[in-house]
Chains A and B, each alone.
Chain A
């Protein structure tokens, strides 16, 4: 019997009056690649941000690796965790942002080693060797000493992926990793992600690259207005959607 790596149960999240997530439940199994698709404003980013606790949920619960996120249950009540405990939980996830968010004052290599050195307090030599290996893995060995401004968008995003991987997360979250890229640079980033998926990493990917979803995703989840409308195998959801809203969305994007 395995348990899901991520278990999302009846999660709701509002910004003021506006409900961005309403009663969302979802399991993500170890080694699985789940692609989240849906129209702009449907809550995909919000869901990822709740999982790595950049945003706090209003109701429901998210379990990662069997551990309730953000709260501790005691005496029939939920108590908010301290900042420190939340940071420890956050280390289990890696996040890749739409706009890369590399640190512009640090080289590619320093971007990658920053977390392991500063946060995890690991040894320099070991961290550096791992970072160089990660750069090789994303095809950027030659760019270790380049600053982000000297890299193309696709290269920056690959460094950002390496930076997230350097923390050795059990779950990788990708928020539209290719949508800020020129079309000819999309492929190189998707190739890195495919390799990562093959290596067995559990991934949740918000994307508009339906080709990538079809090829790599074990499951595709379609969201609309803060709720999961339909999910299933990529070929089913993308090829033969059951729901009217999914069909409308797919015919609009293709």
Chain B
């Protein structure tokens, strides 16, 4: 064996030397500045015209708690409706059938193209268009009786959500390699079975972060249903301040509850993501 050639002189041995800590002057300065600004804001609110005792008293008032339950019930049901519609519409859009494609595109166009609050008002006031609704000869009822605030809110929020969710689901399905679909066909699966067993589970992995986003949006969008008398959180908070005139205090109560709910949702989303990440490298050990 040949000996290794001698190394050139003039390059000192740096091993064992510590790397000095950087001072990060700017980070300290900016953090201090932000703390100051926050303190000023807190001080302003503390000394402002807010009766904090009202906030803590109404935070757990029965009407407020009922409101938050109604908000969550509506958000979950409307989101479920939105996801079901979204999947159906996304599948229709990706189908080779031009009729289905057009219907799906039209749905998305219509419900994404008009304000949600307008759609809620339209559903709620459906009785003005159709005084009675039903199946001719079988069943009919007065629309005012059927179209309760609950149903109007569910339809308005859910159908609107479906238009957005369909795009999320479509993006998820497009992210699945075409080879997956062909492999499913090659083992004899039909279109729908391949979709359900092979494509959708993989599409969900991509779709869940944006769906989590959409659900957080939905929790807050339920507050729009206050205009059609659905007794959700904001509506109930409003009813209280109509009576006692503690407007800001009750708005703060509602705001704190929305913040709390949304904060709990984020870790839930991470659990779901992990569930659908099965088999991906990030989990591979």
Contacts and interface: CB of A to CB of B under 8 A. Distances in A.
Interface stretch (A10-18, A98-106, A136-144, A205-213): A98-106
Interface stretch (B138-146, B246-254, B273-281): B273-281
Nearest to A88: B188
B193 interface: yes
A106 B279 contact: yes
B185 A97 contact: no
Interface in B185-203: 185-191, 193, 197-198, 201-202
B279 A91 contact: no
Contact of A91 (B179, B184, B188): B188
B186 A120 contact: no
Contact of A105 (B189, B193, B202, B285): B202
Contacts of A101: 177, 179-180, 182-183
A95 B186 contact: yes
A93 to B, nearest CB: 8
Contacts of B284: 147, 149-150
Nearest to B197: A118
B186 A94 contact: yes
A52 to B, nearest CB: 6
Given A103-B198, A149-B284, A87 B279 contact: no
Interface residues of A, number: 33
Given A97-B182, A103-B180, A103-B198, A83 B190 contact: yes
A123 B190 CA distance: 20
Interface string B148-187: 0000000000000000000000000000010110111111
A218 interface: no
Interface in A90-149: 90-91, 93-95, 97, 99, 101-107, 114-115, 118-120, 147-149
A171 to B, nearest CB: 12
B197 A104 contact: no
A114 B197 contact: yes
Given A99-B179, A114-B197, A104 B186 contact: no
B73 to A, nearest CB: 32
Nearest to A84: B190
Contacts of A95: 182-183, 186
B193 A119 contact: yes
A83 B191 contact: yes
Interface string A61-100: 0000000000000000000000110011011011101010
Given A103-B180, A149-B284, A163 B187 contact: yes
Given A97-B179, A150-B285, 14 more contacts: A54-B185, A83-B190, A90-B188, A93-B186, A94-B186, A95-B183, A99-B179, A103-B184, A105-B202, A115-B189, A119-B193, A149-B279, A150-B284, A163-B187
Interface of A: 52, 54, 83-84, 87-88, 90-91, 93-95, 97, 99, 101-107, 114-115, 118-120, 147-150, 160, 163-164, 167
13 contacts: A83-B191, A87-B188, A87-B190, A95-B182, A95-B186, A103-B183, A104-B279, A105-B276, A107-B279, A115-B188, A118-B189, A149-B281, A167-B187
